[in-house]
Amino acid sequence: MTHLSRRSFFNTAASAALLPRSTRGSEDKILRVGLGGLPTQKGNAFSNIQSPSILVTGGIFDGLTRVNKAGQVEPWLATQWEALNDLTWRFTLRDDVVFSNGNSFDAVAVAHTVNYLTGDGPQIEGLRRDFRFLSGAEVVAPHTLDIKTKAPMPMLPRYASALLIVEPEAWQSMGAEQFSLTPVGTGPLVVEAWEPAKAITRANPLSWRPMQIDGVDFTVLPDTSSRIQAMLSGGLDAAYQIAPEDFELIKGIGGDVISINDGSISSIMFQFGKDHTSALSDIRVRHALNYAVDKQTISDVLLGGLASVASQPAVQYAYGYDPALSAFDYDPDRARQLLSDAGYADGFSITLETSGGGTNGLLVVQRVADDLKRVGVQVDVQQRPVMTFLLDFVRGRIESDAFTLQWSSYPILDSIQMTNINSCRKTDPWYCNEEIQPIIEKAWMETNSDRALALRRQVMRHYRDDAPGIFLHENIRFIGLGPRTRGFDQTFGYVSYESVQLD
């Protein structure tokens, strides 16, 4: 029996209503993309740089640099950069770029974005957290500016890939809320409309990255089965988060499947310490839970054997990844012994909250729960809608003992990027180990490349050994492409929409 036939495509009338219909004629050159969710703050460039937001905002806006598939920093809106001193970087910008409203892209626009992020503003804007090291920017010439940091920031050119630039006049005249509905950037897409479960975008005729098609429609289809059904019926040209068992169905209609390493680690994190005193506070228990989970079988059975088992919270391409670290072996007997040593020979119970996102995400969580049950740990899996789960995480409202987390280093590919929310750096952190925090701070500021790399690897070893969660595998995203889709590619979060062609 195929994966498709095991699922119910039309559980409710609402899910059926969401399915895109096959369209031709005037909309023949519109790429129709099926996602699990849309940006939580719509077109606000400063909301966050994670999926699904980056799939939309990355087409509307551009950063100063871009990290390629080899993990190297390349020019983007900036053509060159240099460190003037420990606290100042000078960027030279392209002089042939305009915003979608016709205003010129220049140093004033970049300085506006930098200075906005350094000022007072809503903490729900995730880029404030990611760029907390900025102190301001000064215009030197029409296409040259100096960006200043509070402490040495040798990785600034890498982080500049996530510094999405908004058109300053539009931002100031509209305000953040209206701007999020009608954003103005330099990317190949402009927003035509936001609907409850859809973002309608069209080609930006002024973009320096001109489109070969007329636009992109992003439709929310929360479960994999509805995305597959829409593709089989001709209603989608690209479907995210499909599963290996769906490959034959897509290829059977003349489509294709691409696999993307999105630069993140799939993990289940534990809440323990100040506000969550439980069995998870004991490192022996946390190690036991790691030994209890058969990560390789999860990859083989649910991810087509294409996902590398994780040994640390960083992908192999990330700066600071430590190749000397090994993953916890699958050893349920050792897990039981550690639980017994910690006083939990009879086991215990935990709650685990998840959105079920990612390739076979809910099945992965259920497999983890099954493995833990075999060593006496009962897991109550609580699934939440994707957007609800994301908002609860951003606002610190997750109360469960454990939760799923995509430990991301994209689009920047710095192994310590996520310490902004997974260490004492976070306000009211869910995990804070004061012993490693000085090393984390040194790693952020170290200007010597050899020492910076060594410090990052020290941080990676700490997270591996302290086991604040279960690092499962490097995330592999499988994207189904319809038979008329050509040139679709994604590099660490960013889709090159300008390269897409539709037959």
pLDDT surpasses 50 at 299: yes
CA-CA-CA-CA torsion for 387, 391, 396, 397, nearest 10 degrees?
A: -60
- pLDDT at position 396 is 74
Please give the Cα distance from 406 to 474 (Å, whole number). Answer: 9
* Numbered ranges of CATH 3.40.190.10 in the chain: 29-44+178-260+478-502, 65-171
Read off the pLDDT band of 20 (50, 70, 90). Answer: low
DSSP assignment of 32-85 equals EEEES---TTTT-TTS-SSTTHHHHHHHH---SEEE-TTS-EEESSEEEEEEEE
pLDDT surpasses 50 at 168: yes
Question: Coil, helix or strand for 334?
Answer: helix
> Which of 12-16, 122-126, 225-229, 282-286 shows the lowest mean pLDDT across its residues?
12-16
pLDDT surpasses 90 at 50: no
- pLDDT at position 171 is 96
- Strand segments (E) across 204-332: 215-220, 238-239, 256-270
Topology adopted by domain 65-171: D-Maltodextrin-Binding Protein; domain 2 (3.40.190)
Please give the Cα distance from 109 to 115 (Å, whole number). Answer: 10
pLDDT surpasses 50 at 368: yes
Give the pLDDT confidence of 75-102 residue by residue, as tens digits: 999 999 999 999 999 999 999 999 999 9
* Numbered ranges of CATH 3.10.105.10 in the chain: 261-476
pLDDT surpasses 90 at 256: yes
Q: What is the CATH architecture of 261-476?
A: Roll (3.10)
Class (C level, CATH) for 29-44+178-260+478-502: alpha beta
- Rounded to 10 deg, the angle between the 107-118 and 168-181 helix axes is 60
Summarize the confidence of residues 434-461 as an average pLDDT. Answer: 94
Please give the Cα distance from 43 to 187 (Å, whole number). Answer: 12
Summarize the confidence of residues 249-258 as an average pLDDT. Answer: 96
- pLDDT at position 27 is 53
- pLDDT at position 7 is 37
- pLDDT at position 215 is 97
- pLDDT at position 90 is 98
pTM summary value: 0.82
Read off the pLDDT band of 426 (50, 70, 90). Answer: confident
Mean pLDDT taken over the chain: 90
For the purposes of burial, counting CB atoms within 10 Å of the CB of 209, is it exposed (0-12), middle (13-18) or buried (19 or more)? middle
Read off the pLDDT band of 394 (50, 70, 90). Answer: low
Pair of tokens at residue 148? 């200043």
Q: Residue 185 carries which DSSP code?
A: -
pLDDT surpasses 80 at 4: no
